[in-house]
Amino acid sequence: MKRRDWLILFFVLLFSLALFLLRPQTAAPEMRTYLRITAPGQSYLLVALDTAQEIVIDQENGAHNVISVFPGGFVMAESNCKNQDCIHQGQVTVDNMGSRPLANQIICLPNKVVLELVSADERVLELGS
């Protein structure tokens, strides 16, 4: 490469760096998340994860689950299933989804209850279908 080629390359890189550093800084929009509850014979709407609340699920067969919702996540607080695995699965939050064995879900297999963290994008897809 000739000296002129090196100068052109240098100025292109300098110009690119300047554009990158001077770009407008916009805060990333906060991802809105929801809890989707699936239980046999019952229909639940999506629950926004923006306020603390407890949701009780009582099924006709005697199955009983209590879900504790807090801003940004949820946990299975109580269940009358035999093995209590759903309670030991811990909290689900946006921050810990990648490190959990079931990612964004808590499953109570004996009571057939599935709790799932979904984003606003998934909610829109679900409502559209």
Write out pLDDT tens, residues 89-124.
999 998 888 888 888 999 999 999 999 999 876 544
Residue type present at position 61:
N
How far apart are the C-alpha atoms of 126 and 110, rounded to whole Å?
Answer: 26
Per-residue confidence (pLDDT) for residue 128, from 0 to 100: 43
Average pLDDT over residues 4-10: 87
Largest CA distance in the chain: 82
pTM attached to this predicted model: 0.69
As its CATH architecture, domain 33-128 has: Sandwich (2.60)
Average pLDDT over residues 12-38: 77
77 neighbors 88 (Cβ within 8 angstroms): no
Ranges assigned E (strand) in 11-121: 33-38, 47-48, 53-58, 64-70, 73-79, 92-93, 105-108, 113-119
In this model, does residue 47 exceed pLDDT 60?
yes
How far apart are the C-alpha atoms of 124 and 119, rounded to whole Å?
Answer: 9
Count of CA atoms in the C-beta half-sphere (13 A) of 54: 8
* Local structure of 41: helix, strand or coil: coil
Per-residue confidence (pLDDT) for residue 102, from 0 to 100: 87
Range in 50-54, 61-65, 94-98 the model is least confident about: 94-98
Per-residue confidence (pLDDT) for residue 129, from 0 to 100: 45
Per-residue confidence (pLDDT) for residue 31, from 0 to 100: 66
pLDDT, averaged across the chain:
84
